[in-house]
Structure 1
Amino acid sequence: MARQNGRHVQITDFYPTKGMFRPGETVELRLELAGPEQKVVQGTAHLRLSHLMEPVAELEQPFVLTGGERAGITFAWTAPQARLQGYGADLTLFDTAGQVLATTSTAFDVGVHWTLAPRYGFLCDFSPDRAGIDETLRRMSRYHINGIQFYDWQYRHDHLLPPQATFIDPLGRQLSLATTRALIEAAHRQGMAAMPYTAVYAASPSFFHSHRDWALFDGGGNPCLFGDDFLYIMNPTPDSPWTGHLLRQFERVLREMDFDGIHLDQYGEPRSGFDAAGDPVDLAQVLPAFINRVKDVATSVKPDAAVVFNAVKSWPPEAVAGAHQDFVYIEVWPPCTTYRDLRDVVLEAKQLSGGKPVVVAAYISPAGNLHGVLLADAILFAHGAAHIELGEGDGMLADPYFPKFEVMPPQVAQAVRSYYDFAVRYENLLLESADNTSEIAQRFCLEGVAAGLEQSFGTVWVIGQQKPGYQVIHLINLLGLTDGEWACPKPAPTSRRGLLARYETATRVERVCLASPDYDGGRWAELPFTQQGNVLRFVVPELHVWDMLILSEQ
């Protein structure tokens, strides 16, 4: 939410009441207001809904604020029958004389299934005395989170459900199945899917010693381990006893809990081994078949169940990209350390999977690092990927062990919320456009500023995409940066104003629009332009971190 408040009234918040809405559902947008002390303010709240650059509805409601009181207004609108559609919601408060008091914006989307545009968040506190469950999920919904990974909720990796409602997990934490159930219910009320964390081949020491012949071994005949006698790696070959056992665990979880699918983790190593008989096991060949079996079991219990697999270090990309997972999930590790590496990971995943949505797990500390967070999100969002980073209210993942998350400082939280508004509002451009940077970037230039198709410091990174009827040009500001390591803190890029742009295109352009999550609530603005022959010229008013240029074709 972005807002501009006048001296007579304050907009304290404006947000959709769910992370995602279903076709035909009533969309609710909640406006929260505060008036000045010892003064009565009244007027009209005017709401304009748009899809991309086209208006779709206008709604109005009166308001009266007396003596500093707070008030709330809920706007209701029936969602259309759309497979996936993002909307902008721009609100203006007028007084009785028609003068503007304040403005604000948010976004929402409508989709038949959350995995079409996954905005994956996390929960990791399942303690018996947990409080504030509904408020936690409400805060997450304001970032439009529509799917949640329930991280380390389980009793054991090999026996997911506990023998009693309150139990001790392998790390000594006291957890509660009642808390997990309450979190699932709260997530569903906020329009979010609940996905239980599981691991494809991890077992406790006691389970391994009782089922040694189910395990995976190295070339020396030693069992493969994760950690120092913490977990043992079992053999996930599709017809192995371990796989049969784990599939029965998944089926039981989906029948007894109201989860919405299965999240599958792996550790990146080992990539091969031997079964108890000494026969080789190539996990790059085994894992796709394992994923497919999980999908079959999950959908036999819940037909719309999702299955997600963590391709740690983007491995094994060719093998699992085409498996029956609903979107590609990649946890990046060295040598994927630069912004260019993030781009390459996303584009490769999209190509290998036939265009499935991509979610990237890249852990970044928000502490003193506003622009490091925003640059990573801008690069991922501009390439049509999502970033699993938000959860537990206003938490951000700064470590692969999710309970080590950090709470975002207010400035970071506000800016990140604007970026998620922007990603939802323009998702039909961001997710549905094909990358064409190699051609578009070579035909685009900014007068007096180096701009190009590759990440290079002291330049503006140009990303080009195409969708029927549109050409989209993203400008990522790297001016003033001295490195491209996405995990390192970043200063504010050097802002520029009044940039003269030149773009060569043989297509006749009907209009040029600019939108940015960095200002004006993400609203688009039409730019004056000239087109002489194949040369298009216009001025980019300002560039802070990320601008998106939208060229509508005739």
Structure 2
Amino acid sequence: MRAIFDKAYYCPGDTIVLHIESSAENLFRVRFLKLTDCVFETITTKKNIEIVVPPNAFGGYGVDIEALDEHNEVVDKIHRGITVAKKWSDFPVYGYLTDFRPKRYDIEKTLNWLTQYHVSALQYYDWMYDYHKLVYEEGDLYKDAWWRKRYISNKILKELINTAHSKNIVSLAYVSIYAARKNVAIKHPNWAIYVHDKDKINLLDFSNKLCIMNTYKNSGWTKLLYEECKKVIEFGFDGIHLDQYGYPKDGEALALEEDTYKPYNTSRGFKEFINELKKFIEKPLIFNYVDNWPSELQNNLKTEIVYIEPWECCPTLKELSRATREARKRSNGKIPIIAGYINHNFTESILLTDATILSSTGQRLELGEYKRLLSGPYFPNDWGTVDKNLATHLLSYYDFFARYRDFFEGEFKLIKNAHEICENASTEPEANKIWISILNLKAKKACMINMVNYIGVEKLTWKKPLSQPEKLENICVSIPFELISFENPDFYFVSADNQLEPEQISVKLFQNRYEIKIPHLYYWSSILIISNKKEE
């Protein structure tokens, strides 16, 4: 049995159109839940079901469906998750598109697939006509800016944007913040930046194709690109995804000001360009912190999310988790999107990395096009198709993230004495350990304890193939009273691997601790702790 949603997320008051694919022809019981509380239930013979989202709804919800026989016995069931938000940036899930060829025929199919993973924003990668002239205005067809080989159709771009809108998905246009053709830099020397080369001062180039430009707010390049970004919005895009290449670091280059070469502060240029662009177009912006640089800008850039492309800064899952958590904290709660490239055949690496990033309150850019997983930095080259079993497993992860999104927007805390909670536990991601962390739900008496399993994984170098973790069952967990800030807790088991529906588990009291037993831990399981004392 499958459940198909019509939108990536829903707004309060929306109607959810839910389609059930099932061989059963009898009754279906459909329940709409907030954590463990049922807010809507119906029994119907229909396979197309409409659920009206309550006007005050917000956050994560569960959708549980049971197929019933003529005796009302359950013969099949499925559990999914959705999010309810006022706008996509409340609970963003980021994906990508790269195929804009004129004869593309699978637009509806592709966006339907991404919708099931709750992808609410898409980066259109390498779509533009040129780096200084983004929108092609001479007709329909042109070739890509980088290789000048791939045909791109304006008609297809608009069809993708419009179809995405019908599914509550926004489209963001990829734009390089500071790259231009060499002829542009030569024609406008005051727009470019330079480097010392022995006794000469030369233009700073990228890959012998492009020149790096000055993005100070008074730069001619900045003024030109602002107008180009305005045309991008007028074309139909919802916002801009700004890229950089990770250099030059502050003070490593020169800007030409009034015929004088002066030290150039790259991060200042980024900040001025982005914050002034936000005022100019008043649309969503995303900026790529290449190798988490310059991370100090994460607390004051006017962007919707924090997008990090990790290279040397995060060799293991421990550093990746820290970078994610620190970005969330530094940016005052914006979700970090990690563009972490993993070979699509490395199933264990993908699942463990996703579990680590999601548990760290971030999300990974990985899904794009139809059943594709991102493996490298030049997206159009990446045609790795996701394995069917991995696609199913990832759907469970994305449903889990959607269903319990309230927790992932809550307060993250490391558990100091994790080894006292269960055997082989650690306070940070560590090889041959179980990483335990806690998320406290804001303004509600509830928390989530996440357990990510690295038992049997000798190294946490996530870009390389990792071992499958050892499957653990009946794990004893001891939770001290002081870890829970409310009274009368009930304990529930959930798992991103295969159990989205909460299963209440029994608890024993020993001195100053709660003793429970977790049914299993494969990659990632969690404990929901919710007060059973109803608020007055």
TM-score greater than 0.5 by the shorter chain: yes
In the alignment, the residues of structure 1 paired with residue 51 and residue 516 of structure 2 have an alpha-carbon distance, to the nearest angstrom, of: 37
Aligned to 1:480: 456
For 1:83 and 1:283, the matched residues in 2 are separated by: 43
Residue 33 (1) aligns with residue 27 (2): no
User: Secondary structure at the residue paired with 2:325?
Assistant: helix
Equivalent position amino acid for 1:241 in 2: G
Shift of the alpha carbon at 1:271? 2.0
Q: Offset of 1:352 from its aligned partner?
A: 1.3
> SS where residue 219 of structure 1 aligns?
strand
Equivalent position amino acid for 2:118 in 1: H
Identical aligned pairs, as a percentage? 27
Instruction: Tell me which residue corresponds to 2:290.
Output: 312
1:270 maps to what in 2? 248
1:442 to partner: Cα distance: 3.6
Structure 1 letter corresponding to 2:478: R
Does the Cα contact within 8 Å between 2:411 and 2:440 map onto a contact in 1? yes
Q: Work out the CA distance in 2 between the residues paired with 1:169 and 1:98.
A: 57
AA aligned to 1:323 is L
Equivalent pair of 2:414/2:428 in contact (CA under 8 Å): no
Aligned to 1:50: 33
One-letter code of the match for 1:27? I
Closer/same/farther in 2, CA of residues 31 and 444 from structure 1, 3 Å limit: farther
8 Å CA contact 2:131–2:180 kept in 1: the answer is yes
AA matched with 1:282:
N
Task: Identify which of 106, 117, 138 aligns with 1:132.
Answer: 106
Question: 2:408 matched to which residue of 1?
Answer: 430
CA shift for structure 1 position 444: 4.4
From 96, 100, 123, the equivalent of 2:97 is 123
Aligned: 1:342 with 2:340: no
The 1:34–1:438 alpha-carbon spacing in structure 2 relative to 1, beyond 3 Å, is closer
Q: CA deviation at 1:82?
A: 4.4
State whether residues 83 and 112 of structure 1, in contact with CA within 8 Å, keep that contact through their aligned partners in structure 2. Answer: no
- 1:83 CA displacement: 7.2
Name the TM-score, length of structure 2 as normaliser. 0.93
Report the AA paired with residue 242 of structure 1: W
**Whole-angstrom distance in 2 between the partners of 1:417 and 1:222:** 50
Structure 1 residue 234 and structure 2 residue 217: aligned?
no
Report how far residue 411 of structure 1 moved.
1.0
Say if 2:325 and 2:362, in contact at 8 Å, map to a contact too.
no
What is the RMSD computed on CA atoms of the aligned residues? Answer: 1.6
Cα distance in structure 2, aligned partners of 1:438 and 1:279: 49
1:165 aligns with 2:144: no
Which residue matches 1:512?
491
Matched, 1:451 2:425: yes
Residue 464 of structure 1 deviates from its aligned partner by 2.1
Report the counterpart of residue 215 of structure 1 in structure 2.
192
Q: What CA distance in whole angstroms lies between the structure 1 residues aligned with 2:213 and 2:231?
A: 20
SS at 1:278 equivalent: strand
| Separation in 2, partners of 1:153, 1:393 | 18
From the superposition, tell whether residues 510 and 238 of structure 1 become closer, same or farther in structure 2 (CA, over 3 Å): same
Aligned pairs for 1:8-19 (under 5 A) are 11=1, 13-19=2-8
Q: 1:27–1:77: 8 Å Cα contact kept in structure 2? A: yes
Q: CA deviation at 1:45?
A: 0.6
Q: State the distance in 1 between where 2:246 and 2:527 align.
A: 39
* Superposition deviation, residue 394 in structure 1: 1.0
CA contact (8 A) 2:414 2:438 kept: yes
Query: SS in structure 2 opposite 1:128?
Result: coil
Correspondences of 1:15-164 after superposition (within 5 Å): 15-34=4-23, 42-62=25-45, 73-82=47-56, 84-162=58-136, 163-164=138-139
Q: Distance in 2 between matches of 1:82 and 1:451?
A: 39
**Contact 2:292 2:313 (C-alpha < 8 Å) held by counterparts:** no
Q: Report the secondary structure of 1:523's partner residue.
A: strand
Q: What is the CA distance between 1:109 and its match in structure 2?
A: 1.2
2:281 maps to 298
Residue number in structure 2 paired with 1:67: none
Distance in structure 1 (CA, Å) of the matches to 2:419 and 2:38: 31
Q: Note if contact 1:383-1:435 (Cα within 8 Å) is conserved in structure 2.
A: yes
Alignment match of 1:403 (pick from 370, 380, 384)? 380
Q: Is the 8 A contact 1:516 1:546 kept in 2?
A: yes
Q: Deviations over 1:145-196 (max 9, x none)?
A: 0000000110001100113321122312211111111111111112100000
Aligned-partner Cα distance in 2 for 1:530–1:436: 24
Shift of 1:54: 1.5
2:391 is equivalent to residue 391 of structure 1? no
Displacement of 1:532 in angstroms is: 3.7
Instruction: Say which SS state the counterpart of residue 193 (structure 2) adopts.
Output: coil
Matching of residue 546 in structure 1 with residue 521 in structure 2: no
Q: What residue in structure 2 maps to residue 8 of structure 1? A: none
Matched, 1:355 2:333: yes
How far off its partner does 1:60 sit? 2.1
Which residue number corresponds to residue 68 of structure 1? none
CA offsets 1:75-115 (integer angstroms, 9 cap, x no match): 11122334741111110011111121211122211111111
d(CA) in 2 for partners of 1:157, 1:31: 45
Q: Give me the whole-angstrom Cα distance separating, in 2, the residues matched to 1:47 and 1:438.
A: 37
Distance 1:396 1:477 in 2: 23
Q: For each residue in 1:291-324, what CA deviation from the matched residue of structure 2 results, as whole angstroms up to 9, or x when unmatched?
A: 101111121xxxxx21111111111111243211
Q: Does 1:254 align with 2:233?
A: yes
Question: Does the alignment pair 1:463 with 2:437?
Answer: yes
> Counterparts of 1:531 and 1:290 in 2: how far apart (Å)?
58
Contact 2:101 2:156 in 1 (8 A): yes
CA contact (8 A) 2:407 2:447 kept: no
Cα distance in 2 for residues equivalent to 1:197 and 1:459 = 39
Unaligned ranges ≥5, structure 2? none
